[in-house]
Amino acid sequence: MTTGTRHPQTTLATTRLQTRVAVATLPTIEPRRRRTRGIGRRICIHLALLAICAAAILPFLWMVSTSLKTLEATLAYPPRWWPDPIQWQNYIEVFRNPKANFLLWTRNTLIIAVLGVAGTTLSSALVAYGFAKLRFFGRRTLFVIMLSTMMLPFPVTMVSLFAMFRWLGDTTGIAFLGTFKPLWLPAWFGSAFNIFLLRQFFMTIPNELSEAARIDGCSELGIFWRIILPLSKPALAVVALFAFMGIWNDFLGPLVYLQRPEQFTLALGLQNFQSKAGGTSWHLLMAASTLVILPAILLFFLAQRTFIEGIATTGTKG
């Protein structure tokens, strides 16, 4: 690490970095310790893990089971695990419901996600390149300041950001509040953690390639775009994936900035659907929740493989 100091923020950020890599390679991490001895002990560990996994997964099964029940079946007592009859229409019903517009909400979420993910990936990479490969006055100080901003809770700036976007709208005549802009625009100015993650990755790329390009008269921007970015696809994918998950999960941001139901994101829409539909249509609510959860889980399983490959290839290069 060129900053040299063991700054607590750097340590915190490094730990978070390890986590992302660990999440990305979740099933492949091989325990370094020798095989656990004793058959009795192994059985105990299995039993404990089975109980924990049951607690983790039963709520999911219950959700899916409820989502396939008829309204009467959800209200039956005692409840049954297996829905009979299985009512697939619930999932269609969710999309047809007049109180909800899940298709539109999905579209809205995807618009914000595409703009936000593109913005945060591109700008974070640009800034990370500056911190990793270029020497300039004040680099160290700026880097430490950047790491400290990771600890700032969103509620602290929430109120004044809202006031600022309102002022910006009044001054420029371009509406900000009640549009998607406050939700994706800040992403185009880099996010501290992603900058850190990409910087760590860029620093592992040897300088010889860039030097050769520089001698051939390539500009810094050209080196960044033609040499560094193509070599960093796996790291960029990690940033993009987590940025997407962040936007997909965000609730407070849309709640603050979006006002009309036709602008809602899925997270906000789901909450709105629940509060409007009242406490009885559990089958529809669970079907909607399943639909919101599914992409996140699918993405996790799909991305896992790409990430492992990505990390494996970079490992051989280094």
Partner 1 sequence: MASVRRQLRASVIGLAFVSPWLIGFLVFTLVPVALSLYYSFCSYSLLQPPLFKGLENYRTLATDPVFWQALRNTIVYGAVALPLGMLAALCVAMLLNSKISGVSIYRTIVFLPSLVPAVASAMLWLWLFNSKLGLINTTLVALGVSEPPQWLASPRWAMPALILMSLWGIGNTVVIYLAGLQDVPRELYEAAEIDGASSLRQVWHVTLPCISPVIFFNLIMGIIGTLQVFATPFILTGGGPARATYFYTMYLYDNAFSYLKMGYASAMAWVQLLIVLALTALAAWSSKRWVHYQGK
Binders of partner 1 among residues 159 to 198 (CB under 8 A) are 159-164, 166, 186, 188-190, 192, 195
Q: Determine which residue in the list 2, 5, 89, 157 makes contact with partner 1, applying CB under 8 A.
A: 157
Short-list 43, 44, 17, 45, CA closest to 31: 45
CB of 208 to partner 1, least distance (A): 19
Is residue 74 part of the contact set for partner 1 (CB under 8 A)? yes
State yes or no: residue 71 binds partner 1 (CB under 8 A).
no
Residue 100 near partner 1 by CB under 8 A:
no
**Taking CB under 8 A as the rule, does residue 252 contact partner 1?**
yes
Quick one: which of 2, 3, 5, 58 contacts partner 1 (CB under 8 A)?
58
Q: Which residues of 220-246 are buried (b: 16+ CB within 10 A; e: fewer)?
A: eeebbeebbbebbebbbbbbbbbbbbb
268 makes contact with partner 1 (CB under 8 A): yes
Counting contacts by CB under 8 A, is residue 52 touching partner 1?
Answer: yes
Q: According to CB under 8 A, which one of 4, 72, 98, 137 is a site residue for partner 1? A: 137
Q: Does 203 bind partner 1 (CB under 8 A)?
A: no
When binding is defined by CB under 8 A, the residue of 112, 146, 205, 241 that contacts partner 1 is 146
DSSP 235-279: HHHHHHHHHHHHHHH--HHHHHH--SGGG--HHHHHHHHHHHHTT
Q: Smallest distance, Å, CB 128 to partner 1?
A: 9
If phi > 0 it is left, if psi is from -120 to 50 it is alpha, else beta; for residue 228 that is alpha
Among 110, 126, 203, 218, binds partner 1 (CB under 8 A): 126
Distant-in-sequence, close-in-space partners of 255: CB < 8 Å, separation ≥ 6: 268
Q: Which of 82, 85, 141, 151 contacts partner 1 by CB under 8 A?
A: 151
Within 212-251, the residues that bind partner 1 by CB under 8 A are: 220, 224, 245, 248-249, 251
Binding partner 1 (rule: CB under 8 A), the pick from 274, 306, 311, 314 is 274
- Alpha carbons within 13 A on the beta-carbon side of 39: 0
Given the complex with partner 1, which of 8 and 206 has the nearer CB atom?
8
Q: Which residue number, 161 or 209, has a Cβ lying nearer to partner 1? A: 161
**What would the two tokens of residue 158 be?**
């929430």
* Interface positions, 276-305, toward partner 1 (CB under 8 A): 282, 285-286, 288-289, 292-293, 296-297, 300
| Under rule CB under 8 A, residue 59 binds partner 1 | yes
Integer Cα distance of 18 and 29 in angstroms: 12
Total interface residues for partner 1 by CB under 8 A = 103
Token pair for 297: 């889980």
Could you tell me which stretch among 94-102, 200-208, 233-241, 262-270 binds partner 1 (CB under 8 A)? Answer: 262-270
Q: Does 312 bind partner 1 (CB under 8 A)?
A: no
Of 26-45, binders to partner 1 (CB under 8 A) are: 26-29, 31-36, 42, 45
**Comparison of 56 and 318: residue with beta carbon closer to partner 1:** 56
Distance between CA atoms of residues 218 and 232, nearest Å:
19
Q: How far is the CB of 297 from partner 1 (least distance, A)?
A: 6
